[in-house]
Each structure stands twice: as C-alpha cells, then as structure tokens.
Amino acid sequence: MVEILHNSRCSKSRAGIKYLDDNGIEYKVIEYLKNPLSKDELSAILSKLDMKPSDLVRSKESIYKELNLKDVDEDTLLEAMVSNPKLIERPIVINGNKAVVARPDSEIDKVL
C-alpha cells in the first residue's frame, strides 16, 4: 500500500494527498509530526529515496538554525531530524521499496 508522510499544515503535503485522491490511489497517511519516526524508520526511508539526511533536511526551518546544524555530520543531522520531525522535507510518498519527495506532486508517478 502507498504511504504518505503528511503534514496537514503544508500546502505541498495537501497537494500530494489531493493528487493521490484525484488518481484513485489508496494510501495510508503517516502523520509524522504527531507520531515521530524512529531513527531506523527514517534511515529506511532515506535508503528508499537514495538520499542522505542532508538531502532531506529543511534547512530553512528556524530549528535548523537554532540547533546550528549547518556543518554537522550526517548521523548528527539524522538524530536531529528524528528529534525534530519538522526538519524532514515533505511530503514523502512510499510504495514498497521506492519513495519520492512529492515536489511537485507529479513526482508520485515515479513510485506507482
């Protein structure tokens, strides 16, 4: 089943949900801000995305600057993203062993 890491306050995330709905795709919503991912879960998603934490971090978030994350190593960045899920780029759509950051929402087609 397709899964989407979703933040209802994010317009891009809402657009991802709309894209799935408009295309008749069944999916499970993962509200990662309410139910944060574990380090292992986020690592598995990064592997499916073929990305490093630095590729997926929202560097313009205030918490990124507050925690002074600019020059830290990937593992420290991963830990920060687990502890502060707002740092995770969204939406992420997962289908089996494939995943994409759905920006724009048409990227979702790559995992269907």
pLDDT band for position 37 (cuts 50, 70, 90): very high
Domain 2-111 grouped into CATH 3.40.30.10: yes
Q: What is the pLDDT of residue 25?
A: 97
| Close Cβ partners of 98 (under 8 Å, ≥ 6 residues apart) | 48, 110, 111
Cβ-contact 29, 1 below 8 angstroms: no
pTM: 0.94
Calculate mean pLDDT across residues 77-102.
97
Segments making up each domain of the chain, as ranges:
2-111
Calculate mean pLDDT across residues 55-62.
96
Calculate mean pLDDT across residues 60-83.
97
Tell me the catalytic residues: 10
